[in-house]
Amino acid sequence: MSRTNQYWDAPAEALSRDELSALQLQRLIKTIEQVSLSPFYQARFRECGITPSSIRTLEDIRRLPLTTKTDLRNQYPYGLLCVEREKLVRLHVSSGTTGQATAVFYSRHDVDHWADLMARCMYMTGARPGDTFQNLTGYGLFTGGLGFHYGSERLGLLTIPSGAGNSKRQIQLMQDFSTTVFHIIPSYALRLMDIMTEMGMDPKRDLSLRIAYLGAEPYSEEVRRRVEDFYGIDVYNSYGLSEMNGPGVAFECPYKCGMHIWEDAYFVEIIDPETLEPVPDGTLGELVLTTLNREAMPIIRYRSKDLTRILPGECSCGRVHLRLDRIQGRSDDMFIIKGVNIFPVQVEQVLMNIEEVGNNYVIILRRENNIDRMIVRVEVTDRIFVEDMRHLQRIQKKIAHDLRGELLITPDLELVEPHALPGTEGKAVRLIDERRI
């Protein structure tokens, strides 16, 4: 890969490690000054005796207090604001998957910088002017829609703001305007596969798709493979969260071996969620992020609750920006059954590796007579129901066996027909814990 023409933003992407660290320090100090304007951080810094001059090296960041989602909720709506109201041009509210929403404000500078980050991500994967980009995610308060939209326009792609849902129309748009690049939530990408199959379509033959960006919820390598095979495309993992702008925090390059975090814009730490101490590269922990180039609402050491690791070593693309492993899930997604800790994505990984398994599943946890039960309700291909019972039993046995191998417990299985489970166009609900209801 040539280093000269593969960067959309060479001054930020083609830095050496030393140059990147110097830029980070300079931006961190500026951020501390800026964030000290908010009532919330003023009080926090006073408590900890922090002033902008406390930060001399990047390691000094550990002296700063952590910020949690609860802090953001308590400060709702304006407690973290660092500019006058007249400087604000945008408000997003996190989708509230895990409780009361949080507000994030953007100045003109922030919206511009975010669009640059997104353009950089898309360019990195090979999207170019002349491509048609279809954005199949919700617009509005969810940051995924407008984040990609602005990035795509900044890059100069023909941008179709189709939003989520209305699948037949989506397919029509793909056909009429020869969509080449699209952005979609993984569970909706799977559902759209079923709809295309039902319509007798083969996207490899009937469409012009080349590239897709999948993110906003955890998904497994097996889902990536299914989606790539079916549509005949390259899938790139996209990570972000509203508190850090939205998408564009970390993104895969053509080597697809972890997502580069844009360290000129975000300072990254991985901590042990219990001790709050940093963990070595390669070790799983909680992702903690600090904005380095945000004006309206900088956030220091934000505990994302997302569990991942830094992949050690250098990437073949030449970028020195650290790479994050696939996000395993939020610490809140983990459930405990019969003493075993499980993430829904572990179940998915097993299911999607089995050819006869369809594209949707849900995990149900139930307590009956004081005994916990885990039920995996999963769609299987039509064929299974028309073939003889022995075949069905064999598949059932195989799924149970493979799940036991991964989880160390055997869940109860309910095999259902395609489309039997409710589909979503937004983030999928993979776990129903009836024990909490």
Q: Using CB under 5 A as the criterion, which residues of the chain lie in contact with Zn ion when the complex forms?
A: 253, 255, 315, 317
Q: Is 410 left (phi over 0), alpha (psi -120 to 50) or beta?
A: beta
Task: State the nearest-atom distance from the C-beta of 328 to ligand ADP, in Å.
Answer: 8
- Is 263 a residue that touches ligand ADP (CB under 6 A)? no
Q: Could you say which residues in the range 33-52 bind ligand ADP, by CB under 6 A?
A: none
Q: Which is nearer to ligand ADP, 234 or 306 (CB)?
A: 306
Task: State the nearest-atom distance from the C-beta of 53 to Zn ion, in Å.
Answer: 36
Task: State the nearest-atom distance from the C-beta of 304 to ligand ADP, in Å.
Answer: 5
- DSSP type of residue 14: S
Identity of residue 339: G
CA Rg value for the chain: 23
From candidates 11, 39, 77, 96, binder to ligand ADP by CB under 6 A = 96
Q: Tell me which stretch binds ligand ADP (CB under 6 A): 43-51, 52-60, 192-200, 238-246.
A: 238-246
Q: Which does 252 bind (CB under 5 to 8 A by kind): Zn ion, ligand ADP, none?
A: none
Site string for ligand ADP, 105-124 (x = CB under 6 A): --------------------
216: nearest Cα among 193, 234, 240, 192:
240
Cβ–Cβ under 8 Å, residues 298 and 315: no
Residue 246 CA to residue 104 CA, distance in Å, equals: 10
- Is 159 a residue that touches ligand ADP (CB under 6 A)? no
Q: Tell me which stretch binds ligand ADP (CB under 6 A): 12-20, 33-41, 90-98, 267-275.
A: 90-98
217: nearest Cα among 44, 370, 426, 66:
426
Residue 431 CA to residue 415 CA, distance in Å, equals: 16
Beta strand 371-380 pairing with 412-416: parallel
CA end-to-end span of the chain, whole Å?
53
Start-end of H helices in 248-341: none
- Is 125 a residue that touches ligand ADP (CB under 6 A)? no
Tokens of 112: 């511009």
Q: Which is nearer to ligand ADP, 114 or 142 (CB)?
A: 142
CB-hemisphere CA count at 13 Å for 303? 21
180: nearest Cα among 115, 130, 236:
130
Q: Which does 381 bind (CB under 5 to 8 A by kind): Zn ion, ligand ADP, none?
A: none
- Is 248 a residue that touches ligand ADP (CB under 6 A)? no
Q: Which is nearer to Zn ion, 25 or 315 (CB)?
A: 315
- Is 306 a residue that touches ligand ADP (CB under 6 A)? yes
Summarize as ranges the residues that interact with ligand ADP (CB under 6 A): 94-97, 142-143, 215-218, 237-242, 304, 306, 327, 330
